[in-house]
Amino acid sequence: MTYEEARSAMAAVGQEHIFKFWDTLDQTARAALLAQVSRIHLDDLAMLRGVLEKEHSGAAEASAAAATISEMKPAPVVELTAGQRAEMAEIGERELRAGHVAALVVAGGQGSRLGFDGPKGCYPVGPVTNAPLFAFHARKILALRNAFGAPVPFCVMTSETNDAATRAFFRDNDFFGLPEGEVFFFVQGMWPALTPDGKMLLDTPGHVFTAPDGHGGVLSALERSGVLARLRALGVTTMFYFQVDNPMVDVADPAFIGLHVARGADVSIKVCAKRDPQEGLGVAVERGGKTQIVEYTEFTDAQKNERLPDGELRYKFGSVAIHVFSIDFLEREARAGLPVHVAHKKVPHVDDSGAVVKPSSPNACKFEKFVFDSLLDAKTCVCLAFDREEEFSPVKNAEGSDSPATCRADLSRKWARWLAACGVQIPVGADGYPERPVEIDPAFARDSASLASALARNPRDIPPEGGVLLKA
């Protein structure tokens, strides 16, 4: 794209101002700006401006309000007995053995609350080794591959901002033991922010501010990148979806996969009991005959606190974004598109002199898609309850709840529990957490049952003090 072409294309949609520093840019900066403009789809821009107009006219609020007041009740949730779990796991294991299952981590987010300089997946969380989040995910996939003798393609969604660093990190760590050809990276879309009058913003004199298009961007990115077609060609029919920040996730849990397949579901959702009524998890509800995840901000305080006669919260089960999708459904949804959500944000930009301004109040709208909006199109959807002490402790904040400190402690506690089940006691303090950090390489044991057999095959000495580490 030449400068003249880019300028006239942008002028036609009222965005010529992004070239106002052109004369001051050197050759490299000019080339970078032209490359960025060529990546901005005019259709997307027109669509985002339409969303903005709707937002300003109040139509979006009206339809959200209408949805909120419509009839809503808790979604039915499956709680598997030990026998049912074993039955479902058998089905899931058959799928894994047949090579029908892939895993997908969404890792394109900005991780602004954690404030880590680099892709969030590179954040060190191993209680003993400081192993990064990505290591735990990849080693779990390696364990599945070893247990069931078939590849589990690992799809990693990145963003323009962290793609190169993510790929380099996997390369530098030898793909954590996975065959390189079984890791599929793909990049999600970026969208500009728009001011109230529909203008894009420059965050430097030669760069338009853009941000990832939300975890819902995964659907179109999977298709656009060709990853969906590659999975299809490999015979994959089922996708296990999870977020990068939770190293406790039971990747491609066979019982969950089995339940999804046995029910012929388009989408399945893992849900857990909320920590307290105010916990910011989306809640699984049934509305208009459909299972949906409703964000906690949509609930009134009365709804959040509503209790059943037995004292349990009425809206007890929250979603932590652990899903299974059928590949057929992902293909349909990639074409259908998802609704776009608007957030009023403080977006840094340059002033007329080219100096960066950090606004003190929201000055622009950012746009995002949410993956759970796809549920509205699902014909069959199953919710499965899980035990959060075993499977959920995310790294969201730098300190306090859901932070690296709480996550490391929860990991140690879970692995100490597994060891205790195998007869190895690690002293536990009054707070219920082990007194020494504990870490088990997922490629050594996937769960407490496989830990027992791994220790029987391969006995290990537990050192009398310091961290406890079991590596494959």
Residues within the interface to ligand UTP (CB under 6 A): 106-114, 120, 157, 188, 212, 214-215, 217, 243-245, 396
> Smallest distance, Å, CB 418 to ligand UTP?
25
Nearer Cβ to ligand UTP (402/441):
402
When the beta carbons of 115 and 432 are compared against ligand UTP, the nearer one is 115
**Least Å from the CB of residue 18 to ligand UTP:** 22
**End-to-end Cα spacing for the chain:** 52
Pick between residue 307 and residue 345 the one whose CB is nearest to ligand UTP.
345
**Which of 170, 152, 176, 149 is CA-nearest to residue 103?**
152
Q: How far apart are CA 46 and CA 49, in angstroms?
A: 5
Q: Distance (Å, rounded) from C-alpha 18 to C-alpha 88? A: 56
Q: How far is the CB of 337 from ligand UTP (least distance, A)?
A: 16
The Cα 25–Cα 117 span in angstroms is 27
Structure tokens at 211: 């941000």
**At its nearest, how many Å lie between ligand UTP and the CB of residue 218?**
7
Shortest spacing between CB 111 and ligand UTP, in angstroms: 5
| Shortest reach from residue 109's CB to ligand UTP, in Å | 2
List, as one string, the DSSP characters of 130-199: --BHHHHHHHHHHHHHHHHSS---EEEEE-TTTHHHHHHHHHHTGGGGS-GGGEEEEE--EEE-B-TTS-
Minimum distance between the CB of residue 213 and ligand UTP, rounded to whole angstroms?
Answer: 6
Q: Which is nearer to ligand UTP, 108 or 437 (CB)?
A: 108
- State how beta strands 190-192 and 210-212 pair: antiparallel
Q: Which residues contact 226 (CB under 8 A, 6 or more apart)?
A: none
Helix (H) or strand (E) holding 5: helix 3-12
Residue number of the CB closest to ligand UTP reads: 109
Nearer to ligand UTP, 107 or 144 (CB): 107
Query: What is the nearest approach in angstroms of ligand UTP to the Cβ of residue 140?
Result: 16
The residue among 337 and 467 lying less far from ligand UTP, judged by its C-beta, is 337
DSSP secondary structure letter of residue 124: B
Nearest approach, Cβ of residue 217 and ligand UTP (Å): 6
Q: How many other β-carbons are positioned within 10 Å of the β-carbon of residue 62?
A: 11
Q: Looking at beta carbons only, is 34 or 40 nearer to ligand UTP?
A: 40
Q: Of 347 and 426, which has the nearer Cβ to ligand UTP?
A: 347
352 contact partners, CB below 8 Å, separation of at least 6:
none
| Least distance from ligand UTP to the Cβ atom of residue 242, Å | 8
**Separation of alpha carbons 365 and 347, rounded Å:** 8
Give the DSSP per-residue string, 430-442: TTSSBSS-EEE-T
Structure tokens at 355: 């100096």
Kindly state the smallest distance separating residue 120's Cβ from ligand UTP, in Å.
Answer: 6
Tokens of residue 230, six digits:
């590659």
Q: What is the DSSP string of 225-259?
A: TTHHHHHHHHT--EEEEEETT-TT--TT-HHHHHH
Cβ closest to ligand UTP, residue 222 vs residue 470: 222
How far lies 154's CA from each of 18, 183, 231, 275, 374, in Å?
Answer: 38, 5, 10, 31, 22
Nearer to ligand UTP, 214 or 437 (CB): 214
- Closer residue to ligand UTP (CB): 199 or 396: 396
